[in-house]
Structure 1
Amino acid sequence: MSKSDDSLRSLFKAGISSHPTNPPLTTTTASLLIALYALVYFVPFYFSRTARPSPTLSRDTPSVIRARIGSVTVSCAVCCATTYLVLTQTGSAPASTSKVLHLMGIWPPALADSARAVLLTALLFLGPLYSYLIVDDGWRSWLALEPLRELWEEWTVWRNYVAGPITEEILYRSASIPLMLAAQAPVKETILLSPFLFGLSHFHHFYEFRLTHPQVPIAAAVARSLFQLTYTTLFGAYATFLFVRTGSLPAVCAVHAFCNAMGLPRLWGRVRRPWEWEESAVGGQRSSSVLWSVGYYVLLVVGAVSWYRNLWALTQSGNALISPEAFLSM
């Protein structure tokens, strides 16, 4: 490990240095900036006629998706520039450009760490991967490169698996987490605050859902949004953990895209081949083998246990933004 790496860690890690420097900003200021970033990300949607949804214009309309991708790209650039200026132009010991790029997970890219982070996350989805690739014959579509064709042909697919993960991770990890580190915030606060704001930034989907689905009872719409807030916050905490452990923006972008592609794992119900679902729907004979379901749930448990056991080993990195010792104070 180089001396420059040591100085980077002593300057920015929360509560690790025995002789902490004067931080360039307070934890409160960092938190307010992150909250402002969250607003900057989605509020501009409603200023533009092309990006703003309506009862007759869904958020999944291609023109809306294109407009929003353009908007969040500008928002991410503004927020990243703000973080860069805060860290390089303020405080008693302003950071150099190389240090800021490291804190933002941009350089070094740490591609090997990214691969390990995706492998770790895939363990959580061992059951769903088995269901998709084996039970549903998803491997055939990958051999035919169908997912890649959908990526280029469907704007919703591009938004969900490319534009969304990249821009959200740039804003909520790359631009936000360095502010908490620079403020020498406690590790727990660093890992939990930004994810909570990340979850809240999805709550505007409640308004959009009500616009396009006015017939749905408001209680059901609120429950839907609260559920989304919960799992986006949990994912945000996990992504932040990976970010500070690997110091890699590509790692969290790749994990985000992977999780979007997999969706939430099935936690109950029977696993069947696609044609068996069709037979069941028309009252046909249920020829599904119980072994499909047994295999799925066994792999789901095995994957979860393997994920837990490898959580620290597969996220260990020389590019880490917070040392392992700092997590002991959580």
Structure 2
Amino acid sequence: MVPTTPAISPHVAGGLTVLFTIIYIAPFYLSPTLRSNSIANRNTPSVIQARIRAVVWSCVTSVVITVCVLSFKGHVAPREVLHLLGVYPVSIIDTAKSFLLVAILFAGPLFERAVVEGEWRSWGAVTVKETVYDDLIGWRNLVVGPVSEELVFRSLAISLFILAQTSARRITFTSPLIFGVAHVHHLHETINSSRRPGASYLSTALTPSVILPGLIRSVFQFLYTSLFGFIAAFIYLRTSSLIACILAHSFCNWMGLPRFWGRVGQEVGEEILDQSHSPDGNVADALRAGTDDQQLSIIWTIAYYIILFSGAIAFWKLRWSLTHSDSALTEF
């Protein structure tokens, strides 16, 4: 059982989470094989493979630290450690309900992709294999990113905050901010990859065409990933299911950013969102600039926005019932 008195302070829990973030991100800059530059960016196969190996070791290190803190500092029993880490017990029902809740939130985008764009015809085992197993970027975005990030920023971080007896609401709305801040480092990668031969880092950083889009992208990523973090933290606290958070994360990466303006069937805006929501992700094409002369009937667009907002309302109304679980880590 978790001790009745806090074994660590919330500041220590937060400090360890920051440490895990540094352990996760630092190798991307300390090792030449992991860095993005004008020649090899984060989507280069060799860089992806090197970063995946680094992420695995980072996760192992963070898991060892967390288990030691829970076991030796908190005197938490092994079975309860597994419960805090969200790996035991495993409930298929809780996982399915949590996934359904997130799918309801994305009802509008699902309607656009499946019905309007007709993608449902290509959904199957072959597509999954081609998108995930045969594609390094897909493997990173849909498997490695969700698994590693939910492990570090949900499983490990939240278990430490619970050991510190932090309130559920505070965990839900503060721990994901570290997850969001972790994406600010993309600004550095944007600057570094935009450097021309012979140009200094500072001169590149002061170039408006580089720094302004980079700042906008970083702020947007922080807001969007923090919002997702709120949802994932809520699900984790309510279900103690790491797999539920991983599936929700992977699903959101696959869906991309929902459309909030424009007509369905058209691409609008700029490349803003990091599709993987991760420190090791790529810039998504969720909001791409484009011009498509063939417009679908306005009825499709009206239907999309009705479904989009209905899904958001349904998500809000069902958030408690679809995350109710006997394995909950804490009460709100």
Shorter-chain TM-score range: 0.7 to 0.9
What does residue 63 of structure 2 align with? 80
1:273 Cα shift?
A: 8.1
Which runs of structure 2 are paired with 1:46-85 in the superposition (5 Å)? 46-85=29-68
1:281 Cα shift?
A: 4.8
Which of residues 24, 45, 51 in structure 2 aligns to 1:41?
24
Report how many residues are paired. 298
Unpaired runs of 5+ residues, structure 2, are 196-206, 268-289
Distance across 1 between alignment mates of 2:295 and 2:146: 39
Distance across 1 between alignment mates of 2:128 and 2:68: 40
Partner SS, residue 288 of structure 1? coil
Question: Relative to 1, partners in 2 of residues 1:23 and 1:282: Cα closer, same or farther, differing over 3 Å?
Answer: closer
What does residue 200 of structure 2 align with? none
Which of residues 129, 137, 144 in structure 1 aligns to 2:110?
129
Which of residues 150, 156, 178 in structure 1 aligns to 2:159?
178
Q: Does 1:311 align with 2:319?
A: yes
Distance across 2 between alignment mates of 1:190 and 1:106: 19
Distance across 2 between alignment mates of 1:183 and 1:266: 39
Q: Report 1 or 2 for greater relative contact order, CA contacts < 8 Å, sequence distance ≥ 6.
A: 1
Aligned partners of 1:24 and 1:86 also within 8 Å: no
Partner SS, residue 221 of structure 2? helix
Which runs of structure 2 are paired with 1:127-206 in the superposition (5 Å)? 127-143=108-124, 145-206=126-187
What does residue 263 of structure 1 align with? 256
Q: Does 1:236 align with 2:229?
A: yes
Aligned partners of 1:136 and 1:273 also within 8 Å: no
User: What per-residue deviation string (whole Å, max 9, x for no partner) do you get for residues 153-203 of structure 1?
Assistant: 211111110000000000111111111001111223212222111111111
Which of residues 242, 245, 249 in structure 1 aligns to 2:242?
249
User: What per-residue deviation string (whole Å, max 9, x for no partner) do you get for residues 62-105 of structure 1?
Assistant: 111111111111111111111111111114xx111000000000
Distance across 2 between alignment mates of 1:99 and 1:282: 55
1:223 Cα shift?
A: 1.3
Partner SS, residue 159 of structure 1? helix
Which runs of structure 2 are paired with 1:212-227 in the superposition (5 Å)? 212-213=193-194, 216-227=209-220
Aligned partners of 2:41 and 2:193 also within 8 Å: yes
Distance across 1 between alignment mates of 2:12 and 2:78: 22
Partner SS, residue 123 of structure 2? helix
Aligned partners of 2:190 and 2:210 also within 8 Å: no
Aligned partners of 1:191 and 1:241 also within 8 Å: yes
- Give the structure-1-normalised TM-score: 0.86
User: What per-residue deviation string (whole Å, max 9, x for no partner) do you get for residues 188-231 of structure 1?
Assistant: 32122221111111111111122223573312211110111111
1:58 Cα shift?
A: 0.5
1:263 Cα shift?
A: 1.0
Distance across 2 between alignment mates of 1:141 and 1:26: 50
Give the letter for the 1:263 counterpart.
G
Give the letter for the 1:321 counterpart.
L
Distance across 2 between alignment mates of 1:144 and 1:84: 37
- Give the structure-2-normalised TM-score: 0.85
Aligned partners of 2:191 and 2:210 also within 8 Å: no
Distance across 1 between alignment mates of 2:94 and 2:161: 22
Aligned partners of 1:80 and 1:174 also within 8 Å: no
Which runs of structure 2 are paired with 1:84-103 in the superposition (5 Å)? 84-91=67-74, 94-103=75-84
Question: Relative to 1, partners in 2 of residues 1:195 and 1:281: Cα closer, same or farther, differing over 3 Å?
Answer: closer
Distance across 2 between alignment mates of 1:129 and 1:231: 19
Distance across 2 between alignment mates of 1:82 and 1:155: 29
Give the number of the structure whose alpha-carbon radius of gyration is greater.
1
Question: Relative to 1, partners in 2 of residues 1:236 and 1:273: Cα closer, same or farther, differing over 3 Å?
Answer: closer
Distance across 1 between alignment mates of 2:212 and 2:108: 32
Distance across 1 between alignment mates of 2:212 and 2:152: 31
Give the letter for the 1:77 counterpart.
V
Comparing 207-216 with 219-228, greater Cα deviation is found at 207-216
Aligned residues: percent identity? 39
Unpaired runs of 5+ residues, structure 1, are 1-7, 13-20, 275-279
